[in-house]
A = this chain, B = another copy of it.
Amino acid sequence: MTAQVGTKLRSDARDNRERILAVARLAFAADGIDVPIREIARRAGLGVATVYRHFQTKEELLADAFAEQLELCSSVVEQGLAADDPWDGFSLVIEKLMEMHALDRGFARAFTSHLPLVEDFALERNQSLRLIQELVRRTKDAGYLREDFVLEDLVLALMANEGIRAESPQLRVAASRRFAAFMLQSFQANPVATPLPPAVRLPLSR
């Protein structure tokens, strides 16, 4: 094999890998994490064997497809922890996570699932949850967050956020913003009714 052919092959392989990841991200976002590998291969216009050459398991593909978003989540949590006011930090985390999840159903589902096989993903996600736990403690200590709030309530809110359906990801984000405002209000130790983001037309009222 000449050097040139070798370079060409490596660059084709890289292109394929990127194409598979891009197609997988879109597929998981639109149709959830249950889209099978063979369907991703079909949408990428590649053979199933080619996909398996790059990602030995569906779990590996999932972890790589969501790596960037998971990193973004971690940085949102760090931003929340760095806020001067713990309630501001806590609200920021809830609002941003819900927004990211509303934009990508696949990521949302992966984030709130027990995925022991997607080790790297689960490790980083759990690290984010531990940091959120720390933020929860601080926000309670400052008297802003209700004492009976548990981390499970954040998971409950994120799962609930996944249930919201609208006609586009943008409308889903808008509906999700109003929902986040409701949830935040219900989490307060001394709740005050604050103005809400506007209501959004949902499928039922079409």
Listed in ascending order, the chain A residues whose CB lies under 8 Å from chain B are: 112-114, 146, 148, 150, 152-153, 155-157, 159-165, 175, 178-179, 182-183, 185-193, 195-196, 199-206
Contacts and interface: CB of A to CB of B under 8 A. Distances in A.
22 contacts: A112-B165, A112-B203, A113-B204, A114-B203, A114-B205, A150-B199, A152-B200, A152-B202, A152-B205, A153-B178, A155-B202, A156-B164, A156-B175, A156-B200, A159-B163, A160-B163, A160-B164, A160-B179, A163-B163, A182-B186, A183-B186, A188-B193
A196 B164 contact: no
**Which residue, A113, A156, A195, A205, has most C-beta atoms of chain B within 10 A?**
A156
Q: How many copies does the complex hold?
A: 2
Contacts of A156: 164, 175, 178-179, 199-200, 202
Given A190-B193, A191-B191, A196-B148, A202 B159 contact: yes
